[in-house]
Amino acid sequence: MTYTIIHTIHIFSVFIYGGFLFVDVLFLSKMKQTLSEDEHKVAREAIMIHVRKVVPFALMIAVASGVYMFFNIFGEISQDGMNNFQIILSLKAFLGLWLGLRGINQKLFGINPWVFKSHFFPFSLVVIIILLSQFMYL
């Protein structure tokens, strides 16, 4: 029962984080085409004020719940080595931890990323993680 609750929390927090990245990459970044530079700054900041209150914490919850689930479903490594499920799960965990480390550094410590300052790269990683989750059980 606990795993199901944690999994549900994980899914909702990933929807919040990934949903913001989706909207930012595909829509908010396009506002420059129809708004002046000043209007774009004002409109984006009006949205980001609310985003900064929710999205970073959703990412932290997604990472924490993902770590919990990782240790619950990874299983034992056989003498033959890791199976495909374990390999893909490890790759998902690595990408998720990278996103989490980036987000924690940015939110809690004020360290902005030196590379990949736009949200396109994190959005790409979220899409890759979602695709990997579909191949994990094959």
Whole-angstrom distance, CA of residue 124 vs CA of residue 121: 5
Those residues whose C-beta lies under 8 Å from the C-beta of residue 130, and which sit 6 or more positions away, are: 18
Range of the domain at 91: 2-135
Per-residue pLDDT of the chain (138 residues), as tens digits, is: 999 999 999 999 999 999 999 999 999 888 889 999 999 999 989 999 999 999 999 999 999 999 999 999 998 999 999 999 999 999 999 999 999 998 888 888 878 776 667 788 899 999 999 999 998 887
CB 105 within 8 A of CB 111: yes
Domain count, the chain: 1
- Phi, psi (rounded to 5 degrees) for 78: -75, 175
CB 60 within 8 A of CB 103: yes
